[in-house]
Chain A
Amino acid sequence: MSAAPQRRYAGIGWTVVAAVCALVLAALWVAPLLWALSTALRPEYETISPVFRFLPQDWTVAAFAKVLGAGNVPRWLFNSALVALLVTIITMAVSLMAAYAFSQMRFRGRDLLFMLAMLAFLLPFEALLVPLFRMMNQLGLINSYAGIVLPQVVSPVAIYVFRQFFDTIPQDFREAAVLDGASPLRVLWSVYLPMSGNIVWAMAIVTFIGAWNNFLWPFIIVTSGDMMTIPLGLTQTYDAFGVRYAQLMAAALLGAFPVALAYIVFQRRVTHGFLAATGLKG
């Protein structure tokens, strides 16, 4: 017989305590989003009515309709999608190539360069705001998609993760390809990439979510309403909607929806990606 290893804490007492804890915590964690949904599904006067209700009395999707038709939220969703997509594609391309070079190629100063690249992880991006802002200004990239996207493609984490992974691939594959006369880029493309599917997907999704949620850099570089990404735009909503809470909650939920969906659909990959970034085995 082998005791089910999951039952580390035997005893019915602990189980009940654990179950209660789990329920309470789960309820607490889901409550804010559910409450936001409940607020978004009611007419405005109900949100500030002196009579408090947990569920709407007059269910309505008017708030969502208003927000979607307001002109800006759809535009912000589009901007976020475009920016996140561009950041992801470019970061993956740049990081894969760099990681391959660091992992599989020999050149002078490789380890030094790698350490320098990892240094970027240590230095908070926030410290570079002013020079970055000025540089973007001089280049004329303020308030442009390129301006929002480009500084985000430097990802030491992605390079680190990919390099770790490439290091584990047996050398035989590479040597066979090289013997066939393949250039490094070709080896990367036809040998390493196909084997890296999972990890690349994981990092891609994590990068996408990170780019979608990025607040600080877009906040600095975007100067007009129609170039804003969702996190930015939502914080401006007080101007757009005033104190109309149903619409505010609808806007918040619409902004959350794409990434929440990505998480639900790709839950395992997301988990994998975030864990890989911390260096832990998932």
Chain B
Amino acid sequence: MIRRRHLPAALLVACALPALTLPRTALAMDANAPAVQTVRMWTLLSGGDGARMRELVERFNASQQGVRVESTTLKWGEPFYTKLITATVVGAGPDLATIHLSRLPNLAGGGVLRPIGPAELAAAGLAGADFLPRQWAKSQHGGATYAVPLDQHPLVLYYNKKLAGQAGLLDGAGRLKPIEGIDALTEAFRKIKASTGKPGMTMESAQSSYAIWRLWLSMLAQQGLPVVADGRFAYGPAGAATLARVAGWFQAGYATPGMDYPASTSQFMGGNAGFMINGVWEVPELVRGQAQGTLGFEYGIVPLPRMYRDASTWADSHGFALPANNDNPMDPAKVRAVLAFVAFVSKHSLGWAEGGHIPAYRPVAESAAFLALQPNAQYAAAARNVVYDPDGWYMGAAGPLEAIASKFLPAPLSGQLTPEDALRRFETEAVRLLRKRAPLY
């Protein structure tokens, strides 16, 4: 029974309520508040990347006294960007955020990001020319710079040297013989299946998987076709034909259909597939497995082969961006602090490269240390052929168009829909996005 003596407790709770509305960070007040600039950063990097970024944050904090970076990791995907956008709009966003450069048109165009002036960059020791041109261009919107690029992470072709050797695909030095043309690639998969009995290749193809979007985009780009042009789908019949080629690998048994990301990746890691089409972010796992001796086979990596006219390869990039926080414009001291951190990370991005990425900061990317870094050196050439998601407010990592693509494009791979049907449904649902104006946030 509720007794009178419960009343004080209830009142206490009622009084405590306002305290609970305090943003959590406000409670963690730094003892040296006036002297130290605190930079709040939001990042969607998790796993190995998350650990590497945390380490960079700690090194930066330890290396000087004036700035302290506090990093919060939010879940990768649509929720991260939704939270970033909604928080920024009411002025409650962080001071710094790691974003995908493919989302830049959407975020910058929507008013979520704050432009970074050349003078501000110079004060931190950075300049546009310090970064690889493709990535620097990707950080611009409407003539202003909205992000500082950190890396690029393309799709690559991993291969199992043991299985590839059995299929006669290696040259005298134990490296993969160059594969030219889509038929040659198909043939390579077939050979592995025929001579080892194991799947020739593995790629995630469960529903809501993204690998097929990235591969398809690469293959279209290699045929000189964009996905979207002039607000319309521009791939024509080649879209379905290309999708059919990939589906063919699964139907012929060269790849196991319906595997989700963890299942497909562990299939390769377990030595049960000849090739893996995946992003460079699996490199650390392979490196570690090899170092610990748990891998069980030697692996190699090459850029995505030239299947059609060239070797265009999908990639995305991470970058650092400053949220606009309209109600609370950032004061110059904080901007300096933020960019000081960004400059630090850029200069130390060799450690970042150990995550498999190709750094965007040229002094590192063109340094001897990086050029010698293995296995990155095996696929560094991919950087020349990188294609990004097309520009458009709906594009980019975890964007609405990719989400729709991830629903329909994997279906032909497991035979649930024909490629034509899948594309037709994709277009029907996605066309609304193409027709909409870019949202202002």
State the A residues within 8 Å of B (CB). Answer: 86, 89-90, 93, 133, 137-147, 149, 189, 193-194, 197, 200-201, 223-225, 227, 236, 239, 242-243
Known: A93-B10, A225-B75. A142 touches B92 (CB 8 A): yes
A277 vs B23: C-alpha distance when bound (angstroms): 36
Chain A min CB distance to B269 (Å) = 12
Mark B259-279 against chain A: 1 for CB-CB distance below 8 A, else 0.
000110010000000000000
- Determine if A194 and B13 form an interchain contact, defined as CB atoms under 8 angstroms apart: no
A89 vs B8: C-alpha distance when bound (angstroms): 13
In the assembled complex, B90 has its CB within 8 A of some CB on chain A: yes
In the assembled complex, B166 has its CB within 8 A of some CB on chain A: no
A193 vs B87: C-alpha distance when bound (angstroms): 43
Mark B186-208 against chain A: 1 for CB-CB distance below 8 A, else 0.
00000000000000000000000
Q: Which of B2, B10, B86, B87 is A200 in contact with, Cβ under 8 Å? A: B2
Which residue of chain B has its CB nearest to the CB of A200? B2
- Determine if B262 and A144 form an interchain contact, defined as CB atoms under 8 angstroms apart: no
- Determine if A140 and B90 form an interchain contact, defined as CB atoms under 8 angstroms apart: yes
State the B residues within 8 Å of A (CB). Answer: 1-2, 4, 10, 13-14, 17-18, 20-24, 46, 72-75, 79, 83, 86-87, 89-90, 92, 262-263, 266
- Determine if B74 and A144 form an interchain contact, defined as CB atoms under 8 angstroms apart: no
- Determine if A225 and B79 form an interchain contact, defined as CB atoms under 8 angstroms apart: no
A239 vs B20: C-alpha distance when bound (angstroms): 28
15 contacts between A and B (CB under 8 A): A86-B13, A86-B17, A90-B13, A140-B90, A143-B23, A143-B24, A144-B24, A145-B21, A146-B20, A146-B21, A193-B2, A223-B74, A225-B74, A236-B75, A239-B46
Total A-B pairs in contact (CB under 8 Å)? 63
Contacts of B83 in A (CB 8 A): 142, 223
- Determine if B17 and A146 form an interchain contact, defined as CB atoms under 8 angstroms apart: yes
Contacts of A89 in B (CB 8 A): 10, 13
Contacts of A141 in B (CB 8 A): 21
Chain A min CB distance to B325 (Å) = 13
- Determine if A137 and B89 form an interchain contact, defined as CB atoms under 8 angstroms apart: yes
Which residue of chain B has its CB nearest to the CB of A144? B21
Contacts of A90 in B (CB 8 A): 13-14
Contacts of A147 in B (CB 8 A): 21
A141 vs B17: C-alpha distance when bound (angstroms): 12
A194 vs B1: C-alpha distance when bound (angstroms): 7
A133 vs B89: C-alpha distance when bound (angstroms): 13
- Determine if A239 and B75 form an interchain contact, defined as CB atoms under 8 angstroms apart: yes
A142 vs B21: C-alpha distance when bound (angstroms): 9
A225 vs B86: C-alpha distance when bound (angstroms): 17
Q: Which of B2, B24, B74, B75 is A197 in contact with, Cβ under 8 Å? A: B2
- Determine if A225 and B73 form an interchain contact, defined as CB atoms under 8 angstroms apart: yes
A239 vs B75: C-alpha distance when bound (angstroms): 9
A142 vs B88: C-alpha distance when bound (angstroms): 12
Which residue of chain A has its CB nearest to the CB of B4? A189
- Determine if B90 and A138 form an interchain contact, defined as CB atoms under 8 angstroms apart: yes
A48 vs B69: C-alpha distance when bound (angstroms): 41
Chain A min CB distance to B276 (Å) = 17
- Determine if A137 and B90 form an interchain contact, defined as CB atoms under 8 angstroms apart: yes
Chain A min CB distance to B87 (Å) = 7
Known: A197-B1, A200-B2, A236-B75. A140 touches B262 (CB 8 A): no
A194 vs B75: C-alpha distance when bound (angstroms): 48
Q: Closest 3 CB pairs between A and B?
A: A145-B20, A197-B1, A223-B83
Contacts of A201 in B (CB 8 A): 1
Contacts of B75 in A (CB 8 A): 225, 236, 239
Which residue of chain B has its CB nearest to the CB of A93? B10
Contacts of B74 in A (CB 8 A): 223-225
- Determine if B23 and A144 form an interchain contact, defined as CB atoms under 8 angstroms apart: yes
A139 vs B73: C-alpha distance when bound (angstroms): 23
A140 vs B87: C-alpha distance when bound (angstroms): 9
Known pairs A139-B21, A143-B24 / 17 extra A-B pairs, C-beta < 8 Å: A86-B17, A89-B10, A90-B13, A93-B10, A137-B89, A138-B90, A140-B90, A142-B86, A144-B22, A145-B21, A146-B17, A146-B21, A147-B21, A197-B2, A201-B1, A223-B83, A236-B75
A193 vs B46: C-alpha distance when bound (angstroms): 51
- Determine if A144 and B20 form an interchain contact, defined as CB atoms under 8 angstroms apart: yes
Chain A min CB distance to B319 (Å) = 21
Which residue of chain A has its CB nearest to the CB of B262? A243
Contacts of A243 in B (CB 8 A): 262-263, 266
A193 vs B3: C-alpha distance when bound (angstroms): 9
Q: Which of A86, A133, A140, A200 is B23 in contact with, Cβ under 8 Å? A: A140
A242 vs B2: C-alpha distance when bound (angstroms): 45
- Determine if A137 and B72 form an interchain contact, defined as CB atoms under 8 angstroms apart: no
Which residue of chain B has its CB nearest to the CB of A86? B13
Which residue of chain A has its CB nearest to the CB of B91? A140
Which residue of chain A has its CB nearest to the CB of B1? A197
- Determine if B21 and A140 form an interchain contact, defined as CB atoms under 8 angstroms apart: yes
Contacts of B86 in A (CB 8 A): 133, 137, 142
Which residue of chain A has its CB nearest to the CB of B7? A189
A225 vs B263: C-alpha distance when bound (angstroms): 25
Chain A min CB distance to B309 (Å) = 39
Chain B min CB distance to A16 (Å) = 45
A243 vs B86: C-alpha distance when bound (angstroms): 32
Contacts of B4 in A (CB 8 A): 189
A138 vs B2: C-alpha distance when bound (angstroms): 36
Chain B min CB distance to A226 (Å) = 8
